[in-house]
């Protein structure tokens, strides 16, 4: 098989554009780097092509293109990437299920990745992102999610109207605050249909969404600490409730 060596190769140029959100949205494709993410994508049936160096050992039935390490580097923002890249289809929407985590304007890719990972660990069925939350196909999100993005339904919605929809479907909606509301250990849940909202790293949950919550949850902590990292707070709440 031929090995693509040129950074100006038409195919490589096209693929490298998938590092940009705009291009991803258009093509409904994204790139993942490294064996673990490529394998997770493959298990999920969304891997459509493998790009790897000649010497990198990876067996699959997926169409494979051989390239040089310089070409690999053009397809990722990592400084010292692994020698394999996967081209992956956008994930399809599924039913939202009963246990829902709603994220309002989370900005840090590491935080979003961590929350996705913990959501799978603690049996969340769907993560619902506000339109201004960081893109899930951002490479830092993918890396910090440790491939868990392939094991959970993640959708994007206008949150105000989505919360109204949840109300009509009899979900109980819990907002989260640094204090005020119910201590998570004291919470008595009388329904299976639960939605929890976590807000932006600096500003918390948007005012308009706060008004639509049925109750608020908080994690008790030492007064010296103003707040927890949002990935940590989300994980503790999911651990405790789900």
The residue ranges that bind a copy of itself (CB under 8 A) are: 110, 114, 117-118, 120-123, 144, 146, 148, 151, 219, 221-222, 224-229, 231-232, 235-236, 239
In 167-185, which positions are buried (b, 16+ CB within 10 angstroms) versus exposed (e)? eeeebbbbbbbeeebeebe
User: Nearest approach, Cβ of 159 to a copy of itself (angstroms)?
Assistant: 24
Look up residue 238 and give its two tokens.
């999911």
Specify the residue, 122 or 162, whose C-beta has the smaller distance to a copy of itself.
122
- Residue 96: how many CA atoms within 13 Å on its side-chain side? 21
Contacts 24+ apart (CB under 8 A), 75-78: 75/12, 75/15, 75/16, 75/18, 75/19, 75/31, 75/33, 75/51, 76/19, 76/31, 76/33, 76/139, 77/19, 77/139, 77/140, 78/33, 78/139
Tell me how long the chain is: 242
Q: Quote the least distance from Cβ 111 to a copy of itself, whole Å.
A: 10
**In this complex, which beta carbon is closest to a copy of itself, that of residue 168 or of residue 222?**
222
Tokens at 11, concatenated:
């195919």
* Residue 81 CB-density burial (10 A; 0-12 exposed, 13-18 middle, 19+ buried): middle
Residue with Cβ nearer a copy of itself (18 or 112): 112
Q: Smallest distance from the beta carbon of 221 to a copy of itself, in angstroms?
A: 4
Whole-angstrom CA distances from 15 to 12, 31, 117, 241 are 5, 8, 27, 41
Contacts of 25 (CB under 8 A, 6+ apart): none
Comparing CB distances to a copy of itself, the nearer of 173 and 231 is 231
Question: With respect to a copy of itself, which residue has the nearer C-beta, 161 or 222?
Answer: 222
Which residue lies nearer to a copy of itself by CB, 15 or 141?
141
Tell me how far, at minimum, the Cβ of 17 lies from a copy of itself, in Å. Answer: 25
- Minimum Å gap between C-beta 194 and a copy of itself is 17
Smallest gap from Cβ 110 to a copy of itself, in A, equals 6
- Cβ pair 83, 55 in contact under 8 A: yes
Please report how close the Cβ of residue 47 comes to a copy of itself at its closest, in angstroms. 18
Instruction: Return the number of the residue (123 or 208) whose C-beta is nearest a copy of itself.
Output: 123
Paired with 91 in beta bridges are none
């Amino acid at each position: 098989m031929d090995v693509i060596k040129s950074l100006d190769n038409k195919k490589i140029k096209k693929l490298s554009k998938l590092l940009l959100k705009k291009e991803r949205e258009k093509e409904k494709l994204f790139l993942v780097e490294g064996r673990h993410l490529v394998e997770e994508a493959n298990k999920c049936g969304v891997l459509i092509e493998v790009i790897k160096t000649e010497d990198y050992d990876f067996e699959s039935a997926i169409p494979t293109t051989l390239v040089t390490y310089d070409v690999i580097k053009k397809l990722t923002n990592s400084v010292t990437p692994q020698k394999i890249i996967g081209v992956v289809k956008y994930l399809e929407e599924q039913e939202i299920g009963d246990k829902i985590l709603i994220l309002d304007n989370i900005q840090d890719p590491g935080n979003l990745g961590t929350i996705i990972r913990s959501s799978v660990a603690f049996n969340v069925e769907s993560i619902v992102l506000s339109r201004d939350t960081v893109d899930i196909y951002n490479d830092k999100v993918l890396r910090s999610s440790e491939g868990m993005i392939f094991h959970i339904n993640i959708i994007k919605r206008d949150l105000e109207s989505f919360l109204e929809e949840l109300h009509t479907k009899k979900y109980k909606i819990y907002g989260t605050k640094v204090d005020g509301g119910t201590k998570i250990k004291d919470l008595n849940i009388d329904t299976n249909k639960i939605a929890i909202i976590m807000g932006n790293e600096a500003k918390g949950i948007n005012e308009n969404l706060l008004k639509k919550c049925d109750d608020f949850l908080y994690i008790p902590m030492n007064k010296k600490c103003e707040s927890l990292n949002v990935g940590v707070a989300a994980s503790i709440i999911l651990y405790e409730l789900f």
